[in-house]
Amino acid sequence: MTQYKTDFEWTRQQFDLPEGMIYLNGNSLGPMPRASVPAMTSFLNDEWRTELIKGWNTKDWFMQTNTLGDRIGRLIGAPAGSTVVSDTLSIKVFQAVAAGMAMVPDRKVILSDNGNFPTDLYMVEGLIKLKDAGYELRTPDPEDVMDHIIEDVGVVMLTEVDYRTGRRHDMKAIIDKAHALGAVVVWDLAHSAGAVPVDVGGCDVDFAVGCTYKYLNGGPGAPAFIHVAPRLLDTVEPFLSGWYGHEAPFAFDTAFRPMPGKIERMRIGTPSIASFALLSVALDIWDNVDMDELQTRSAELCALFISEIEARCPGLDLVTPREPRKRGSHVSFAFEHGYACMQALIADNVIGDFRAPNVMRFGITPLFVNEADIMGAVDKLEKILKEERWKNAQFQKRSLVT
Amino acid sequence: MTQYKTDFEWTRQQFDLPEGMIYLNGNSLGPMPRASVPAMTSFLNDEWRTELIKGWNTKDWFMQTNTLGDRIGRLIGAPAGSTVVSDTLSIKVFQAVAAGMAMVPDRKVILSDNGNFPTDLYMVEGLIKLKDAGYELRTPDPEDVMDHIIEDVGVVMLTEVDYRTGRRHDMKAIIDKAHALGAVVVWDLAHSAGAVPVDVGGCDVDFAVGCTYKYLNGGPGAPAFIHVAPRLLDTVEPFLSGWYGHEAPFAFDTAFRPMPGKIERMRIGTPSIASFALLSVALDIWDNVDMDELQTRSAELCALFISEIEARCPGLDLVTPREPRKRGSHVSFAFEHGYACMQALIADNVIGDFRAPNVMRFGITPLFVNEADIMGAVDKLEKILKEERWKNAQFQKRSLVT
């Protein structure tokens, strides 16, 4: 067994999963760190209750966007001062793509792919409608993206790791080609940050955005982040230009002046400080994790999961790339009765999820998943399949969140 | 003394203000309800920790945007189903104005006033820059707004209660004139919601937005809300069109289809559910408050405050309208040495705030402020002025948040 400097037994102990549950959905909503309750109680009693308005000064609420951003920055290879936390991922996608479009004003094409997470496409659709100036969103199949990077493309907006299949784009190759042709690139790292090592600095990413409620364990609806290449910070237009991005936010000037040369300019409105308290303790765990080791550990667990499923669960077809470097940290199988089968598995306290039309998805998150979880999950799945339990009507009934 | 059905002693008891503090800043950041810690602990332990991803179904996280929105709706006269909570006020201003502009495509003027809260102006400035189609933002003095509502104005965007002076616009008169001339109106209720009775339904408001961390006591950076007139819900363009506003958010279609005829279409990305837990208990208090009585009580306390200040604090000039119906629920005085004087007052544990260039601002929030607070605050202020304590260098040094 591989020896790690990162103590994955310790990281597992930082979470308090419900007794008997095998949680393979940390790629969708991360579990709660044990430190969340004391941290939040302390925030409420010792900050909001006690300091009230003074907390903006005495507890440094105002700059937590940046201190938290820098801690995420380490996980994605971003230099200090180039990442801030706030808003939702949808908003950050909009902000990044709008800024990218303005950098190449003569080009009217935004290139994405049809496997991108829908909200990214929706936000660009809304942006194009708002601009009302002849822009076009192209969405070829993910494997054809490289061929679609041509001279008329202004902004390439992609999610690095496919939310269904786990397939990972070749970030460096795409950026190199896009830059060579004069395009700007926006990366959504929703399924990358905390899943795989990312090197936004080394790859010369223009913009990167992501969320903190999946692998980073910030809680449901935890804030998003945005990274902008330092070389762009003097000129990037925030467009969603709120007081939190102003050069002098407390001067109450009537004209907007973006914070010069700093990532602060991409901040918008007043962020939820309570949500920062939760994110901060979640990042306390991440501060102790080496991302390369995490990837090795993920590969180890994924290999076990895939081999066990393929040996014991006939009918399930792997849709995730077999090569570890070509995927994120979740593994998906196509199965005709995937929805009902996943409901049966959830009823058995193994939590994965389902993505239309037929994908059973499992997050293999080394911070708290180990070999025993993998074997336990496959044992139960094997049994469900043998008993054809997915035929049960109760498992076929659709609920809101699948 | 006026008899109220609303029990303002009970509402006061719902907060746990620091011993000895007189808090006259609930118009900037409301204090913490006593129920916040148990509610948040329950959310963390019984929802996030236990339910994990299933919480979206079992704890109805997905629709809290709407249930909380409707509870705020009661306070502003909005019918059920026309208000949702999410994002920041800056984002909601952008979304409302962008939607308004699209309703009057031939008009290129957005009218506001130069007393509006700066972030509202900044967001429109960014929107105009993004649209890049010859739009213009006009910002006359607040008292001249009515005269500036003319045929070329497409959207009138105003904050009802001025964040510095407390002066209240005549919402009904402005809307009537704007509508008569074919303009759309967006109201920012940041200093109105929970401060004064508002009747967005009766006034036929097109859009209203606001925040929940001031009078509503949702905590620092608590989420914003947006109300859209029901008559517009079939056609309003969200523009910031995220998955949370989609007709079938879990179908993961690649094309955006706004939720037909429903306020859900103005939702954008995944909101912070933790921040909803705090807002919910804060609204539990508001559920017991009659807004007309609140205004009467506010008028009573403001009258006492104004008369005591004017009798005992020479040099301070009232900048807030004397007539209760013409103001919100804060009172401001101009004073040459206002900044240092406010710092001295804060050092004495009376918390108000300062707004450039010379405004000392005091939130008179009947949920937890009473006559004893008013008298205690004026006693201390009188003493500071007599002793000219504002001359002390320590009080003249500027800090980040003023």
Q: Tell me the domain boundaries of chain A.
A: 8-34+290-396, 37-286
The CATH classification of domain A37-286, taken from the options 3.40.50.620, 3.40.640.10, 3.30.70.2740, 3.90.1150.10? 3.40.640.10
- Greatest alpha-carbon pair distance for chain A in Å reads 69
Round to whole Å and give the CA distance between B38 and B107.
51
The verdict on A31 touching B (C-beta cutoff 8 Å) is: yes
Distances (CA, A) of A27 to A190, A194, A277, A286, B149: 9, 9, 21, 15, 51
Proportion of chain A above pLDDT 70, given as a percent: 99
CA distance A318 to chain B (A): 21
Distances (CA, A) of B269 to A112, A116, A188, A211, B260: 19, 15, 14, 11, 18
Are B130 and A131 a contacting pair at CB < 8 A? yes
Instruction: Give me the residue label for tokens 């209660």.
Output: B161
Q: Which residues have CB under 8 Å from B170's CB, separation 6+?
A: none
Can you give the pLDDT at residue B402? 46
Is A144 a residue whose pLDDT tops 80? yes
Are A32 and B40 a contacting pair at CB < 8 A? no
The verdict on B130 touching A (C-beta cutoff 8 Å) is: yes
Beta-strand ranges (E) seen in A70-144 are: 83-85, 109-111, 136-138
| A204-236 tens-digit pLDDT | 999 999 999 999 999 999 999 999 999 999 999
Are A49 and B237 a contacting pair at CB < 8 A? no
B214 catalytic? Reply is yes
B326 catalytic? Reply is no
Is A106 a residue whose pLDDT tops 80? yes
Helices (H), B89-232: 89-103, 118-131, 145-148, 171-180
> Which residue in the set B36, B122, B131 is minimally distant from A246, CB to CB?
B122
Q: Which fold has domain A8-34+290-396?
A: Aspartate Aminotransferase, domain 1 (3.90.1150)
Tell me the chain B residues in contact with residue A44 when contact means C-beta distances shorter than 8 Å.
32, 36-37, 40
Round to whole Å and give the CA distance between B92 and B231.
19
Q: For an interface test with A, give the residue of B130, B138, B278, B332 to mutate (most A CBs within 10 A).
A: B130
Collapsing DSSP to helix, strand or coil, A82 comes out as: coil
Collapsing DSSP to helix, strand or coil, B344 comes out as: helix
Q: Are B380 and B345 in contact (CB under 8 A)?
A: yes
Can you give the pLDDT at residue A402? 46
Q: Which two tokens stand for residue A289?
A: 């994790």
Backbone angles phi, psi at B156, to 5 degrees: -105, 120
Distances (CA, A) of A384 to A381, A388, B25: 5, 6, 59
Are A122 and B256 a contacting pair at CB < 8 A? yes
> Which residue in the set A90, A242, A253 is minimally distant from B242, CB to CB?
A90
Are A244 and B90 a contacting pair at CB < 8 A? yes
Q: Are A301 and A372 in contact (CB under 8 A)?
A: no
Q: Which two tokens stand for residue B247?
A: 């007709």
A5 catalytic? Reply is no
Q: Are A98 and A241 in contact (CB under 8 A)?
A: no
Q: How many CB atoms lie within 10 A of CB A199?
A: 14
Tell me the chain A residues in contact with residue B25 when contact means C-beta distances shorter than 8 Å.
52-53
Q: Which residues have CB under 8 Å from B306's CB, separation 6+?
A: B318, B320, B322, B331
> Which residue in the set A126, A254, A355 is minimally distant from B118, CB to CB?
A254
Packing angle of the helix pair A273-286, B273-286 (nearest 10 deg): 150
pLDDT along chain B (402 residues), means of 10: 92 96 98 98 98 94 98 98 98 98 98 97 98 98 98 98 97 98 98 98 98 98 98 98 95 94 98 98 98 98 98 97 97 97 97 94 98 98 97 83 51
DSSP string, A210-239: EESSSTT---TT--EEEEE-GGGTTT---S
| A42-98 tens-digit pLDDT | 999 999 999 999 999 899 999 999 999 999 999 999 999 999 999 999 999 999 999
Q: Are A341 and A385 in contact (CB under 8 A)?
A: yes
Mean pLDDT for A247-263 is 94
Can you give the pLDDT at residue A398? 77
Q: Which residues have CB under 8 Å from B105's CB, separation 6+?
A: none
Round to whole Å and give the CA distance between B160 and B174.
10
